[in-house]
Chain A
Amino acid sequence: MLPVSYYLIVAAIVFCIGAYGVMTLRSGIMIMMCIELMLNAANINLIAFASHFSQVNGHVFVLFSIALAAAEAAIGFAILMSIFRSKNNVNIDNINILRW
Chain B
Amino acid sequence: MAVDNIVYLIPILPVLAFVLTLAFGKKLPSGGGYIPILAIAISCIISILAFLQIYKTGIPIEVSAHWFSVLNVGIFIDPLASVMLLMVSFVSLLIHIYAIGYMAHDPGKPRYFAETALFTAAMLGVVLADNILQFFISWELVGLCSYLLIGFWFRKPTAAAAGKKAFLTTRVGDVLFLAGIVILYSSMRDVFLERFPAGIPDGIYLLQFSTIFENISHIDPTHLTIITLLFFGGAVGKSGQFPLHVWLPDAMEGPTTVSALIHAATMVTAGVYLVARTFPMFIASPAVELAGITIPATLTVVAYIGGFTALFASTMGLVMNDLKRVLAFSTISQLGYMMLALGMGSVIGVAAVGFAMFHLINHAFFKACLFLCAGSVIHSTGTNDLREMGGLMSKMKITGITMLFSSLALAGIGIPFLKIAGTPIGTSGFVSKDAIIVEGSYVFAHMTNDWIPFAFGILAALLTAIYTFRLWFMAFTGKPRQERHPHESPATMTGVLSILAAFALVFGMLTFLPFTDFVGHTYDHEEIHHLAVLGGNHVIDHHELHDVVHHASPIIFLLPVIVGVGGLLIAWVIYNRRWVSVASIGNMQNPLFAILAKRYYQHEIFIELISLKFTYGVLALTSEFSDRKIVDGIIDGISSFIIGGAEVLKKIQTGVVQNYATATVLGVGLIALILSFRGMI
Any B CB within 8 A of the CB of A92: yes
Question: Which of the segments A17-25, A49-57, A65-73 contacts the partner chain?
Answer: A17-25
- Could you give, for residues 620-652 of chain B, a 1 whenever the CB lies within 8 Å of some chain A CB and a 0 otherwise? 000000000000000000000000000000110
A92/B658 in contact, CB under 8 A: yes
Measured in the bound complex, the distance between the Cα atoms of B654 and A100 in whole Å is 7
A-chain residues with CB within 8 Å of residue B665 when the two chains form the complex? 19, 23
User: Among A22, A24, A97, which residue has its beta carbon within 8 angstroms of that of B655?
Assistant: A97
Interface residues of B in 377-422 (CB under 8 A from A): none
**B side interface size, CB within 8 A:** 11
Residues of chain B with a CB closer than 8 A to A99's CB: 653-656
A88 to chain B, nearest CB (A): 19
Q: Does A96 contact B (CB under 8 A)?
A: yes
Minimum CB–CB distance for B659 against chain A, Å: 9
A19-B665, A23-B665 known; A95+B651 contact, CB < 8 A = no
Give B260-319 interface residues, CB cut-off 8 Å to A: none
CB–CB B654/A92 < 8 A: no
Say yes or no: is B681 at the interface (Cβ < 8 Å to chain A). Answer: no
A100–B658 touching, CB < 8 Å: no
A65-100 Cβ-contact flags toward B at 8 Å (1 or 0): 000000000000000000000000000110111111
B658–A23 CB distance below 8 A: yes
In the complex, which residues 190-240 of chain B have their Cβ closer than 8 Å to any Cβ of chain A?
none
B661 proximal to A (CB < 8 A) = yes
Are B657 and A95 in touch, CB under 8 angstroms?
A: yes
Residue B589 at the chain A interface, CB threshold 8 Å: no
B651 touches A24 (CB 8 A): no
Residues in A whose Cβ lies below 8 Å from that of B657: 92, 95
Q: Cβ of A23: which chain B residues have Cβ within 8 Å of it?
A: 658, 661-662, 665
* Residue picked from A92, A93, A95, A100, most chain B C-beta under 10 Å: A100
- CA A95 – CA B653 in complex, angstroms? 13
Q: Given that A100-B650, A100-B651 are contacting pairs, would A92 and B656 also be in contact in the complex, using a CB cutoff of 8 Å? A: yes
Q: CA–CA, A82 to B657, complex, Å?
A: 17
Residues of A within 8 Å of B655, CB to CB, are: 95-100
Are B656 and A96 interface neighbours, CB within 8 A?
yes
> Is there an interface contact between A22 and B651, defined as CB atoms closer than 8 Å?
no
Q: Which residue of A lies closest to B647 (CB)?
A: A100
How far apart are the CA atoms of A95 and B655 in the complex, in Å? 7
- Assess whether A22 is in contact with B654, with CB atoms less than 8 Å apart: no
Q: Which residues of B contact A22 (CB under 8 A)?
A: 658, 661
Provide the bound-state CA to CA distance between A80 and B198, in Å.
Answer: 81
For B654, the chain A residues whose CB sits under 8 A away are: 96, 99-100
Chain B nearest CB from A82 CB (Å) reads 16
In angstroms, Cα B662 to Cα A19, docked, is 9
**How far is it, in angstroms, between the C-alpha of A92 and the C-alpha of B653 when the chains are bound?**
15
CB proximity of B237 to chain A, nearest CB, Å: 59
Complex Cα gap A22–B656 (Å): 12
* CB <8 Å contact, B658 and A24: yes
Question: In the complex, how many angstroms separate the beta carbon of A24 from the nearest chain B beta carbon?
Answer: 7
Closest CB in chain B relative to A22 CB, distance in Å: 5
Q: Kindly report which residue of chain A lies nearest to residue B655, judged by CB atoms.
A: A99
A20 to chain B: closest residue by CB: B665
| B333 → chain A closest CB, angstroms | 74
Contact status B656-A100, CB under 8 Å: no
Contacts of B651 in A (CB 8 A): 100
B428 to chain A, nearest CB (A): 84
Q: Which residues of B contact A96 (CB under 8 A)?
A: 654-656
Residues of chain B from 90 to 110 with CB closer than 8 A to chain A in the complex: none
Chain A positions within 8 Å of B656 at CB level: 92-93, 95-96, 99
Q: How many angstroms from the CA of A22 to the CA of B658 in the assembled complex?
A: 7
Alpha-carbon distance A14/B95, docked complex (angstroms): 100
> How far is B375's CA from A32's CA once the two chains are assembled, in angstroms?
92
Q: Nearest B residue to A35 by beta-carbon distance?
A: B661
With CB as the reference atom, state the residue of chain B lying closest to A16: B665
CA distance A34 to B58 in the complex (A): 105
- Rounded to whole angstroms, the CA-CA distance of A31 and B665 in the bound complex is 15
Q: In the complex, what distance in Å separates the CA atom of A22 from the CA atom of B657?
A: 9
**Binary A-proximity of B49-77 (CB < 8 A = 1, otherwise 0):** 00000000000000000000000000000
Q: How far is the CB of A52 from chain B (nearest CB, A)?
A: 22
Q: Identify the A interface with B (CB < 8 A).
A: 19, 22-24, 31, 92-93, 95-100
Sample of 18 A–B contacts (CB below 8 Å)? A22-B661, A23-B658, A23-B665, A24-B658, A92-B657, A92-B658, A95-B655, A95-B657, A96-B655, A96-B656, A97-B655, A98-B655, A99-B653, A99-B655, A100-B650, A100-B651, A100-B654, A100-B655
User: Contacts A24-B658, A31-B658, A95-B657 given; 14 further ones with Cβ under 8 A?
Assistant: A23-B658, A23-B665, A92-B657, A92-B658, A93-B656, A96-B654, A96-B655, A98-B655, A99-B654, A99-B655, A100-B651, A100-B653, A100-B654, A100-B655
10 smallest CB-CB distances across A and B, nearest first, come from A99-B655, A96-B655, A100-B650, A23-B662, A100-B653, A98-B655, A96-B656, A22-B661, A99-B653, A99-B654
